[in-house]
């Protein structure tokens, strides 16, 4: 049974800052707003009883900057755990898809990998990282935000399920599909 949902932030729940990276703390960018359907998806996931977390590769933003952004956007209350990797400008720091960051968020949630789902727009970072860590994944394939190459899956086997959804309006349906196939 699925217990936790781990969300990517940039491109998944919020639009990216100008320039793509957070060269300043994320909460200082007025253009960073919730994507259409984000609040509704978070509300639905909460009503289904799942614990929710954020796992985001960031450049300079730490957990407190992300929490301030989430508070400004009026969605901070949905998240038990927030992890900001600060790995985009410092390659010595682990970031998605490195399994250590997925294991870290799962440890903080107190949830085993097979009981968690990663929701993200990046195939290479969110999906491959989650599947490589034993989690399930919902991949947002909307071409406005989706990035990565699903061909990287060829020849690899994972224990977790991958479900493609077009956008945030399909999160509930995607989670139901994973829950139905839960082994």
pLDDT tens, residue by residue, 60-94: 999 999 999 999 999 999 999 999 999 998 989 99
pTM of the model: 0.95
Judge if the upstream peptide bond of residue 97 is cis by omega within 30 degrees of 0.
yes
Structural domain boundaries in the chain: 4-180
Share above pLDDT 90 across residues of the chain, in percent, rounded to a whole number: 86
pLDDT of residue 141: 95
pLDDT tens, residue by residue, 20-41: 889 999 999 999 999 999 999 9
pLDDT-derived band at 112, boundaries 50, 70, 90 = very high
pLDDT-derived band at 156, boundaries 50, 70, 90 = confident
pLDDT of residue 182: 64
pLDDT-derived band at 183, boundaries 50, 70, 90 = low
Residue 114 has pLDDT above 70, yes or no: yes
Residue 113 has pLDDT above 90, yes or no: yes
C-alpha dist (Å) from residue 108 to 6, 20, 82, 111 = 12, 28, 9, 8
**Are the CB atoms for 1 and 179 separated by under 8 Å?**
yes
Mean residue pLDDT of the chain comes to 94
pLDDT of residue 159: 84
The vertex-101 CA angle with 158 and 78, nearest 5°, equals 100
For the domain spanning 4-180, the CATH number is 3.40.50.1000
pLDDT-derived band at 117, boundaries 50, 70, 90 = very high
Residue 160 has pLDDT above 60, yes or no: yes
pLDDT of residue 51: 98
């Amino acid at each position: 049974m699925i217990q936790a949902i781990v969300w990517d932030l940039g491109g998944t729940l919020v639009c990216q800052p100008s320039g793509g990276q957070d060269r300043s703390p994320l909460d200082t960018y007025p253009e960073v707003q919730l994507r259409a359907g984000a609040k509704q998806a978070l509300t639905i996931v909460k009503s289904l009883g799942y614990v929710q977390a954020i796992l985001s590769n960031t450049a300079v933003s730490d957990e407190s900057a992300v929490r301030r952004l989430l508070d400004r956007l009026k969605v901070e209350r949905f998240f038990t755990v927030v992890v900001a990797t600060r790995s985009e400008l410092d390659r010595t720091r682990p970031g998605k898809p490195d399994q250590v960051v997925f294991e870290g968020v799962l440890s903080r949630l107190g949830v085993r990998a097979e009981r968690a789902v990663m929701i993200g727009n990046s195939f290479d970072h969110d999906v491959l990282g989650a599947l490589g860590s034993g989690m399930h994944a919902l991949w947002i394939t909307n071409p406005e935000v989706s990035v990565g190459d699903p061909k990287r899956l060829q020849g690899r086997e994972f224990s977790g399920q991958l479900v493609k959804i077009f956008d945030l309006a399909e999160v509930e349906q995607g989670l139901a599909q994973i829950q139905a196939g839960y082994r």
